Each structure stands twice: as C-alpha cells, then as structure tokens.
Structure 1
Amino acid sequence: MKKVKVNLQIKGELLHLCNDCYNKMMSDELNVNLEQVIESFTLVDGRGISRTFYVERRVYPIGFYFEAVENIEFGYKFAVHGELEGSQQEMISRLIEKTRKGIAEQYIETDVFSGGQAYQNMKNDQIVGVIEYNEASDDEPLVIIDGKPYTWEEVGKMVTAFEGFQIKLKMYDITDDVE
C-alpha cells in the first residue's frame, strides 16, 4: 500500500508527516478517538472484475475524511466525510457502499464498426468519472471512467457522436453522491 505523506506548516515550519503520524497528531490535538478501521477491501465490478481498494483516513478540525483508492494507477477513487463525533465504522460502511454503487455501472463500451475497427462510446448517453492531473499534458486532464484513464481527446471523440445534442456538464466534490 502506498503510504500517504502530509505536508503541514506550523508556526512557519514545514513538517513532512506520514498519514498515520498526522492523524495521531490531529486526534491528540482535537481529543478524538481513532477507531480501528479496515485498511483495504475488495469488491466485484459490473463486469465481474475483482477490484481492491486501500482506505485512507484523515482527521481534520471539521471532521473525518475517508478515501477508497483502487490499487492500480488511475483506478477508481471514492470518498466520504463525516463529523468528528460520528461513527467511523459507519463512515467506512458508507464508503464501501458508495464504492459498490460506483463500480456497478459501466459507462464506456467498446463496439466494432462493420469494417472491423473498434471504437468506444458512452453507454446510456452519460459518463461519470474523476478528473486527474495528466503528466503528459499540463493543458488537458485525464478523466478516469470505469477505473481506466481517458485523455480529454478520447472523451471528445466519444462526445462527437452526439453532435447537435444538448449537454449539461456538472462538477461534484469527490465526497458527493452522483446520482
């Protein structure tokens, strides 16, 4: 599991802490108990593929933040947050359920033209994904859909099939539920 590092500035001094050390420091400062929580879980997606997620917890003055990150580069990512007084086990349950729902539906399918050339298109005229930084291009993000990275150009090719249609593009925080 990749260990997350936290950079924190206190009284002008920059501290580099591991996530566990940061959480311990914050829980002591905020007088919050860190419950024992799972480190990972595995679920099966809508295609029958088994996917493993690592769980990261962060303690902030405004509450807990839990994130499930798939164990592959540019895989699925889901997050929830909750109050400091809330049950961390319930937050983990919400995270697992959100992940289960998020991987159940597939948004991209591959079809083949009559000439044999493969192409990708959006199932049900929609996509849901996460925008990530693209190291290959500062000007274009990667869009993670179905646990796979797509360039902005690849997404654009899928969208061209809808020429003349209306579009609604709405951004959601990673902790929001996308319905």
Structure 2
Amino acid sequence: MTDLENVRLDPIDMIDSAGDSHRFHCQMRLLGPDMIVLDAFELREDVRAGYEFRTMGEPEDDVLTLLGRLVEKMRRALSVRFLCAENHRQRIRDRTVQGRISSDMSGFENMPVVVVDGKEIAWDDFGRMLMAFEGWQFRLDIADPADEL
C-alpha cells in the first residue's frame, strides 16, 4: 500500500455550538494489512490537545468517503456542550458528560485529565464537578476513539 503515505489532507476549520473556532489537522495511518485510521486533532503549541476524532476503514475505501464520515462525526460532537460556566466555574450542564481521557505529563505524577468540550480538565477539578451529584448513581462507559457514543 504505497499510495497511502502520499495522501495529504489540509487542516479543517470548524465552529462549535458556542461559536468557537477549531482547526483540525488530519493524519491517515495504515494499521496492519487490512485497516486504515483517519485521525483529526487540534494542536496547541505543536502538541495534540483539545478535541480528537477518529474513523477507521479498509485500505480499499475511498479517502474522501472516510473523510466525509469523520467530518460528520466531528459536526455532531461540536454541536453539543456538556459543560457550562456558573459563578466563574465550570459545571456539568445536565446529568451527562462525554469526553476523552488524557494525561497531564507536566507534573511529577502522570495524572489523568479529561477533555470535555475540547477543554482539558484536571482530574481533581472534574471530581469537584461530580460533587454536585453526590449520592447519585453513575455509569462509566469506555469506548474506542473510533466508536460512536
């Protein structure tokens, strides 16, 4: 599969539901002989940060079809807000929050952070957001980045 490495995709600019602009860089990779992965991600100071999206396909799939599927996934995600500001603090808007698990490599300990609405939230801060629901039940579903939630 030599043509895969020659595919160059320009960055994609999109607006989220709050009117904020996001620039996504795309990368296509071959995983084994029968799978390709198309990633779209934001960069901050030349490092992946913020929103990240993924779709998967087969090497024979049309690149523009995969890109179209990825862009639709991005549009759906950017149209929803899970957090809102209240008294200069972030809080969970309703009773549902969706995001991505990441890590904070800047500190001594490799602590988890979550990325919600394209914003990194420290694990302790996310825990404080959850305290608004103390005593409630919850379900945590972990999904592959290529899966739809």
Task: Compute the TM-score of the two structures, normalised by the length of structure 1.
Answer: 0.74
Distance 1:37 1:98 in 2: 20
Structure 2 residue aligned with 1:87, among 49, 62, 65?
Answer: 62
Runs of 4+ in 1 over 6 A off after TM superposition: none
* Residue deviations 1:15-56 (CA, integer Å, cap 9, x gap): xxxxxxxxxxxx23xxxx437452211111010111110000
Distance 1:121 1:138 in 2: 25
The aligned runs of 1:1-179 (5 Å cut-off) are 27-28=1-2, 33-34=3-4, 36-60=7-31, 61-72=33-44, 73=47, 74-112=49-87, 118-135=88-105, 136=107, 138-178=109-149
Shift of 1:139: 4.9
The total of aligned residue pairs comes to 143
RMSD: 1.6
The 3-state SS of whatever aligns with 2:37 is: strand
Q: Identify unmatched segments of 5+ residues in structure 1.
A: 1-26, 113-117
Distance 2:64 2:8 in 1: 7
Task: Compute the TM-score of the two structures, normalised by the length of structure 2.
Answer: 0.88
Quote the residue 1:10 is aligned against: none
Distance 1:83 1:149 in 2: 32
Shift of 1:123: 1.0
Percentage of pairs with the same residue: 27
Contact map agreement 2:28 2:37 (CA 8 A) in 1:
yes
Shift of 1:137: 5.1
